[in-house]
Amino acid sequence: MSSLLQLLTVALLLCAGCCYAAPHCGDCGNTTVPYPLSTGSNCGDQSYKIRCDAGTLWFDTLNSTYTIESINPSSQRFVIRPASFAGNTCITTDFNSQGVQLNSSLPFNITSSNTIFFLNCSDSLLRSPLNCSSTSLCHTYINATSEAAACEQAPICCSFRAGGSTTSYSIRVRKEGCMAYRSFVNLDYSSPVSSWPASGVEIQWISPQEPVCDSQADCDEGSNSTCQADPSSSGLKRCFCVDGLSWDPISGSCVNNSTCQSDGGCNGSTNHTPLIAGLTVGLGVALIGAVVGTLFYKRQRRIKDAQERLAREREEILNANSGGKSSKIFTGKEMKRATNNFSQERLLGSGGYGEVYKGYLKDNTIIAVKCAKLGNTKSVDQVLNEVRILCQVNHRSLVRLLGCCVELEQPLMVYEYIPNGTLFDHLHGLHPGSRSELTWLRRLSIALQTADGLAYLHSSAVPPIYHRDVKSSNILLDEKLNAKVSDFGLSRLAETDLSHVSTCAQGTLGYLDPEYYRNYQLTDKSDVYSFGVVLLELLTSQKAIDFNRGPDDVNLAVYVYRKVDEEKLMDTIDPMIMEGASDRDLETIKALAFLALGCLEERRQNRPAMKEIVEEIDYIMSIAAAKAAEVKWVSDKAINVALKLPPLLLIWELSLVGVYYLPSALIRLFKVETRSFQIWSTSPQYYTDPTKSGQQAHMLLYRKASYIRAGTGNVRQNYVVYKIWVLSANYCIAATPQDLRYVTSIGKEDRKGGRNEKARATYVSHRQLFFGRTGISKMKALILVGGFGTRLRPLTLSVPKPLVDFANKPMILHQIEALKASGVTEVVLAINYQPEVMLNFLKEFEAKLGIEITCSQETEPLGTAGPLALARDKLIDGSAEPVFVLNSDVICEYPLKEMIDFHKAHGGEASIMVTKVDEPSKYGVVVMEESTGKVEKFVEKPKLFVGNKINAGIYLLNPSVIESIELRPTSIEKEVFPKIATEQKLFAMVLPGFWMDIGQPKDYITGLRLYLDSLRKKSSSKLATGFHIVGNVLVDESAVIGEGCLIGPDVAIGPGCVVESGVRLTRCTVMRGVRIKKHSCISSSIIGWHSTIGQWARVENMTILGEDVHVRDEIYSNGGVVLPHKEIKSSILKPEIVM
């Protein structure tokens, strides 16, 4: 058989004829050099030069040279190794030569298979088409590999998929404003970084033309090609193949156009034609039979292997879901039966991700079957991995995925069936009687449920899932009009190689994030933008895109923004919810509208996160749903007597400024809790005193904080006392009232003028209700200042850490102002470093704020509890008022009034503020009852996970707690709090809003961002505005800003600063008296007092300049820490301390 095959081979080769082949170059080491690549002057094509040196192939660019790692002749591509990182830096070694630059006149280009990361970049890239978001693949790479460990400190990195242009010639690092790059070929974005291939840049060569010649002698000896003029290039000759042969650019040879003629043979002999023909036919039949048999066997084997593999994959999915609700793997037969073979009568709808069919299972369960249009770019393995993730999602506001089917041509997802149509149908009258059911409260409920579902996908799903197509037609409503989000996660299954221009698979016009057009990346904030449009639909009942609105108002977001600019926002609201709306309804409608506009901010970093949106809508809904509580008396062990009154109009505007106390009499807090008014009592002696019969309940209305003179009944200027509630004079309040006839409402009485007119509670922003004579307590606070603040050097070399500026005023002043606003009259500083500096500095603010500031100095370290014992005499005066204790490093919104209310209510000995964090092992962890706040366990820096609520460093302690602390080095976290928790007298209140412990410079930068975000929500008028401002920026009114500057986000510029023209500032603090000269760039840094930054200087990567530091022109600082009073004359290329 083998001899016959050899004879057949000979015959076939004879038919092939002799063909011309251009000279190939020899191997270089173990690597074959295919045509047309040339390693010498006598082989290959000279336009395709590479180098062979000591067994290694090299590729020369315009400005550098790179080793060739591999060559693929069939695809005409090779991969070069990119430049390495310089030692312990985020700078690639070809930074000075600006990366990979190819000669555009040569037949090489960079392919579209490269995924390129630009690292250590400038802020200018934030406005580029690159994806520079914190969720970009570039950050995933940095966080998961030691190769780029130094890049963790670099503020900006961007990812980019090469665009596929055949004229893409460069990866220019410096041109892009970056200092390093990485490139990966054919990267699978879904795979973990640990399984990524080695980095490389893929280069493609263009198919070569025939070889250049000067004469026939330069062509072949067999006359298969002739040296002729090239018609496409003047004066150039090439070896063109003769008739019957054609040029093959891959092999670099002339090959036959057709097989040999049957009547002549290739060698001119006819004597053996019959024999050759017979042998050819016989052997051909045998060979064909063998080939067919082999192919049939292999096909059957592949089918069997595929079935076994599919069974294993299905088993993997079942195992993946064993921990949660079970998800079934349906067979193709079941799906065809359920949908009546995907009958058009069962078709519910179709969209960018595929058709949806209504189906019935054997047990009559109604299902919705989604047939995904995924294309062919993702393997079944990838699809199954995505379905596995979606099967684990379980939330009340998400349509539940019951299972999937992977047997048919395209994967099928099987969902629960939601029978009541979509939100779009209800809003636009496509569902019978639907619009009348959408009351204002129902619309708020739908918004809250939708936001809650999306927040779950963003924050609780592992890994996070971005919906990418949030719209009203993807929000389904059940029989009770509860919202359920559908189609979540299907974009994870969508074809990733499609052009991003297509919105079919990545979003819907009218809902699509405008930043998508700049960086071609959809993120969680893209979902926020789309949800903002849904909120506008709920408010207006208008479509996201509607050509009936006129050419300028086709887009709903644009239309509403125009109306806001015209101060006609309410004109856009659906008349159905405006009709009969109360004042409270109108306020909440406006609140939701402005929340929607916040979601539609053009820059995604200015948009709230979905978690924040949930909190906002929940708060708005609590206001809208508030009902007047019944007037009733409540009595229990913790609260001897409490009087609940119906809420007044606009109850959410109430705020409290103080806790009033009068010895031997009841002066208790009038508070707002669960939307009701309450008078709290813990002094039964007052009620049993018969001389107190007939006391009046006064409501104190005032416009600004001031002292009340104790015992005289007189009130200082700006106060007016109104008698709102009066207890009958003949009624003794020693017992709990059973009849409200004794509580009457009377008109307003002005103490000075004696006028009587009706009280208008709506126009008063602060209210206080108390019994008896007016008096004021001396509530006190202790701030734990501590020592040298070494972690924030060099700033703390000039002043104690609490006096370091934060958001344009000393850190400790934020706390003192909050304490003053909550009613504290005296602040004690526990300090062991420069107390005289602290007191002298704060003396000015002591007078301004009307608050006493004293000092308790430690001569030796006393821990976190010892300072309370040392300051005991200053804190306890016999009044029984609780004492605030604050850690001076903490920055937050300081809800101290609410904490007072919480402490008064639970009746325990101590209250602590807690906050949620991602890494609780670094802090003191609190395990508490969610309903009561009672602390079950207090564990300081646990090694095992016990919870994620940590001690936030803000306490409210009864005097008995302070009296029990011994004067010695003691830990409040390890000794005091665990003991009180064991006695069940320690309670915890969850801190609303942001929180940050300012320990190190990076915490300072993060804390500033959180503070400015909070300031935008609570007092946005304090932030700077203008065309030169990006995001949240705080600028002192005395600062001077030059022309052409770009400032933000997250920047604070202090008093007396001068910022000259063309300066770029981002994520930084510029302290008092700093001058920044023209065209400088500062990012992620802190510039100390009275420093100077020279022209064209660049300061970044957590550079910290102490007081009076002068940076010369054109200096670069990459993470330098510079001590005070220094002059920087040369660049700082890596993080270091400059002494």
Q: Which residues are catalytically annotated?
A: 469
Q: HSE-up of 923 (CA within 13 Å, CB side)?
A: 20
For 296, other C-beta atoms within 10 Å of its C-beta total 10
Strand residues in 170-314 grouped as ranges (E)? 170-171, 180-185, 201-205, 225-229, 237-241, 245-248, 253-256
d(CA 170, CA 182): 13
What b/e sequence results for 170-192 when a residue is b if at least 16 CB atoms lie within 10 Å of its CB, and e otherwise?
bbbbeebbbbbbbbbbebeeeee
CA–chain centroid gap for 905, Å, is 37
- Sheet containing 158-161: give its strands across: 158-161, 114-119, 180-185
Rounded to whole angstroms, the Cα distance separating 1063 from 1040 reads 12
Question: Which candidate, 1044, 1043, 1038, places its Cα nearest to that of 1057?
Answer: 1038
End-to-end CA distance of the chain: 87
- Which pair of tokens denotes residue 712? 């005289």
CA distance 205 to 15: 32
Comparing CA positions, the residue from 611, 442, 608, 617 lying closest to residue 541 is 442
> Token pair of 1070, please?
């510029």
**Residue 267 CB burial class (10 angstroms; 0-12, 13-18, ≥19):** exposed
Alpha-carbon span 77 to 72, nearest angstrom:
5
Tell me the C-alpha distance between 559 and 571, whole Å: 11
> Residues forming the annotated binding site for ATP?
370
Instruction: Note whether 469 and 492 are within 8 A (CB).
Output: no
DSSP 432-454: TTHHHH--HHHHHHHHHHHHHHH
> Residue 852: how many CA atoms within 13 Å on its side-chain side?
12
Give the Cα separation of 835 and 844 in Å (integer). Answer: 15
Which residues does 449 contact at the CB level (< 8 Å), separation at least 6?
396, 397, 482, 483, 484
Token readout for 62 is: 């315009």
Give the tokens for residue 594.
């402005």
Q: Which of 523, 630, 489 is nearest to 133 (CA)?
A: 523
Cβ atoms 48, 35 nearer than 8 A = no
Amino acid at 307: Q
Among candidate residues 1122, 1134, 1050, the one with its CA nearest the CA of residue 1093: 1122
Question: For residue 432, is the peptide bond before it cis, meaning its omega torsion is within 30 degrees of 0?
Answer: no
Return the structure tokens found at 359. Answer: 């189906």
For the chain, what is the radius of gyration of the CA atoms?
38
Q: Which of 792, 694, 777, 787 is nearest to 734 (CA)?
A: 694
d(CA 405, CA 361): 14
Please give the C-alpha separations between residue 838 and each of 817, 883, 954, 1070, in angstroms, as whole numbers: 16, 21, 21, 22
Instruction: Give residue 322's identity as a one-letter amino acid code.
Output: S
Residue type, 106: L
The DSSP bridge partners found for residue 31 are 28
Rounded distance between C-alpha atoms, residue 598 and residue 672, angstroms:
28
Residue whose pair of structure tokens reads 């040196």 in the numeric block: 53
The distance of Cα 939 from the centroid of its chain, to the nearest Å, equals 30
Residues near 257 by beta carbon (within 8 Å), at least 6 away in sequence: 244, 245, 246
